[in-house]
Each structure stands twice: as C-alpha cells, then as structure tokens.
Amino acid sequence: QMLKVFVTRRIPQEGMKILKKAGMCNLSVWDSDEPVPRAELLKGVADAHGLLCLLSDKIDAEVLNAAGPNLKVISTLSVGFDHLEGRLYNLNGCTIFLHPRGIRVGYTPDVLTDATAELTVALLLATARRLPEGVEEVKNGGWSTWKPLWLCGYGLSGSTVGVIGLGRIGLAIARRLKPFGVKRLLYTGRQPKPQAQEVDGEYVPLDTLVRESDFVVVSCSLAPDTQSLCDKTFFSKMKKTSIFINTSRGAVVNQEDLFEALSSGQIAAAGLDVTTPEPLPTSHPLLTLKNCVVLPHIGSATYSTRGVMSALTANNLLAGLTGSEMPSELKL
Ligand code: GLV
Ligand code: GLV
C-alpha cells in the first residue's frame, strides 16, 4: 500500500531521491522555491501519512485536523522546531501537542552545526569590522584615501564573548571564536554544561553575561522562556561598545527595543541572521541603520549541508512511516 506524503517545497535532490527510491510513497510536492500558500498546505496534507515541512510552514492544530488520522510523522528540514505550533512544550520540558495524537517528529540537529557556527563567526566579524559598510563605500566612491579614523570597528582579540545557549551550535561557535584570542568566554542557559570546559566557558547569570561581554551571541532555541529575552532592559545593560549577534530565532529579540538601542548608541552594532517576520520588509527601520547587518536566514546554507539536511529529513520521514527508529527524532 502506497503511503501519501506531502512535501511543502522544492528541496535538494538528495532527499527526493531517497523518498522515490523507497518505493512506498505516493509523493505530492509543492514544487516551488516559494512557500506553500496556507490553503494549499491544508489541501495537500489531507489524508497524508507523512508531512515533510520547512521552518517557514506553521504546523498547528488546523493543519493536523486537515491531515486527519492517517498522519504518522512530521519531518522538518530544520533543527529548529518552534514552527510546530507556537508553544511547543511547557516549561517542565515535557510533551508537545503532537504526541497525544501519536505523531512522531523528525528534525535535523548536528548536520548543520558546523555551517551555522561558521556563518555566525562570519556575521560577527562582518558586523564588528563593518564589512558591508566598507564594501558599499568602495562601490559608491566614498573611499577617498586611507584614513586613520575611518571605518574602525571592534576586534575579538582580548575580548569577552558571551554565548546565550551553549548547545550544539553555541559550543561550535565558542570553539571557533576562542582561537581569535578571546580572553573570557561566558555562557548562560538553563543549566551549566560539562562540555563548556573545552572552551573554558564560565557559567554566569544572564545579567553578568550581558554587562561584561563585548560580543553577545544568541544561540538558544526559541521557547517560552527565551521569547523576547533580548529587550530594552537587556540592551540597556550592554556596553556602548559591544556587539549583539543573533543566529537563532528572531522572536528571541524585541526588534523595536533593538532598533532603539542601535540608533541611540546604547550598543555599537548588531548582526542578525534571523528576524521577525522573515523576510523582513525592505522598509523596516532596522534596515536604515548602518550599524545593523541583516542576513536572510542563511545559517545552514552551504551546498553540502543542505544536501545532508535533505537526506536526513527524508530518512526521518521514512522511519516514521515504517515505525522504525529515526536517525533524528525530536523527543522532549
Ligand atoms: C534553521 O534555522 C534551522 O532551524 O534549521
Ligand atoms: C596597513 O595597511 C598598514 O600598513 O598599517
């Protein structure tokens, strides 16, 4: 019996090959680079046994109801899972709404850790050393001569870096930053992590991290306790010379408060790979600021990483359909 699978986007061929080769899926694909419209998602998922989705698809009770009782597995092409119903788990850290229905969830941890950490370092350096501004000046004729006081920024050597959320990606970021001569590596999170030893990480209260860091790097997942974590109070504690980097989820930040902090000189600069909403409208106030570098959510965007993510997402889906062990099952 063929099992119906709905794929919400054109994805790297690696995953499609695996799904086709398995020979058990009746594949229906939203074959576009643009997100599936809500109505098409609700239609496409009807009677499906499996759903392969992206972080831009909001999967909530309406989608599950549209799918009906066949649905066994949701496999997302992402490590983040906050799009699977806004509030995924309660603060005790248990059960998500999918489990009562017996729906298993696959995701893609580990395989994008290196790519995302690299992008975070690139964004941090680009923001601190003002690369986009410099490139712009070269193009628009603003580069008149070598000037001692022009386009100066901040360096990592001798600095204090604070990582909010020293998980897989946070640790990979810390590992990469340390060799730049970082003096102190602070981190915060729900509990201290033994693996922090490797980077001489000091577990400190959030307040200490925010006050003492020259670079504040957000690498936590979006959850009820991290939503709008970076707000007016948070930015007011940062040094005027410090830099804020976020490559996790936009909703961890109150963007109005960030705009205020950047435009008033309360903090030096910000580099964001994630925003709310995504895409950020081109008229957004943050985009008028020279000291804000915004990227279009490309943390995991290397050819090879996206290929491996695609394959893993397909394999998670197949395992969910056949009731076998998933390579990466989300268990909370
Ligand atoms: C990217 O943000 C992901 O969650 O994979
Ligand atoms: C810079 O190019 C220098 O020579 O100091």
Answer whether residue 328 is part of any domain: no
Closest CA to 113 of 187, 32, 56, 168: 168
Answer whether residue 329 is part of any domain: no
Percent of the chain at pLDDT > 90 equals 89
Q: What is the mean pLDDT of the chain?
A: 94
Answer whether residue 166 is part of any domain: yes
Q: Tell me, using a 6 A CB cutoff, whether residue 245 lines ligand 1.
A: no
- Each residue of 88-142: pLDDT tens digit? 444 344 345 565 677 889 999 999 999 999 999 999 999 999 999 999 999 999 9
Examine the domain organization and report whether 105 and 123 are in the same domain: no
Identify the pLDDT of residue 87: 41
Q: Tell me, using a 6 A CB cutoff, whether residue 275 lines ligand 1.
A: no
Whether 99 is catalytic is: no
Residue 326 has pLDDT above 70, yes or no: yes
- Each residue of 228-278: pLDDT tens digit? 999 999 999 999 999 999 999 999 999 999 999 999 999 999 999 999 999
Instruction: Residue 80: give its domain's CATH number.
Output: 3.40.50.720
Examine the domain organization and report whether 85 and 175 are in the same domain: no
Examine the domain organization and report whether 250 and 172 are in the same domain: yes
Identify the pLDDT of residue 61: 83
Answer whether residue 96 is part of any domain: yes
Examine the domain organization and report whether 81 and 161 are in the same domain: no
Examine the domain organization and report whether 173 and 235 are in the same domain: yes
Examine the domain organization and report whether 141 and 106 are in the same domain: no
Residue 69 has pLDDT above 60, yes or no: yes
Q: Tell me, using a 6 A CB cutoff, whether residue 219 lines ligand 1.
A: no
Whole-number Å distance, alpha carbon 148 to ligand 2 midpoint, is 10
Among residues 49, 83, 99, 297, the one annotated as catalytic is 297
Q: Tell me, using a 6 A CB cutoff, whether residue 55 lines ligand 1.
A: yes
Examine the domain organization and report whether 236 and 255 are in the same domain: yes
Examine the domain organization and report whether 93 and 169 are in the same domain: no
Answer whether residue 330 is part of any domain: no
Q: For ligand 1, what atom is nearest to the CA of residue 80?
A: 4
Examine the domain organization and report whether 134 and 279 are in the same domain: yes
Which structural domain, as residue segments, surrounds residue 106? 3-110+304-322
Q: Give 181: exposed, middle or buried? Use CB within 10 Å, 0-12, 13-18, 19+.
A: exposed
Q: For ligand 1, what atom is nearest to the CA of residue 107?
A: 5
Examine the domain organization and report whether 282 and 143 are in the same domain: yes
- Each residue of 195-235: pLDDT tens digit? 999 999 999 999 999 999 999 999 999 988 899 999 999 99
Examine the domain organization and report whether 95 and 219 are in the same domain: no
Examine the domain organization and report whether 140 and 250 are in the same domain: yes
Residue among 11, 52, 56, 79 whose CB has most ligand 1 atoms within 8 A, to mutate: 79
Percent of the chain at pLDDT > 70 equals 95
Based on the structure, what is the number of domains in the chain? 2
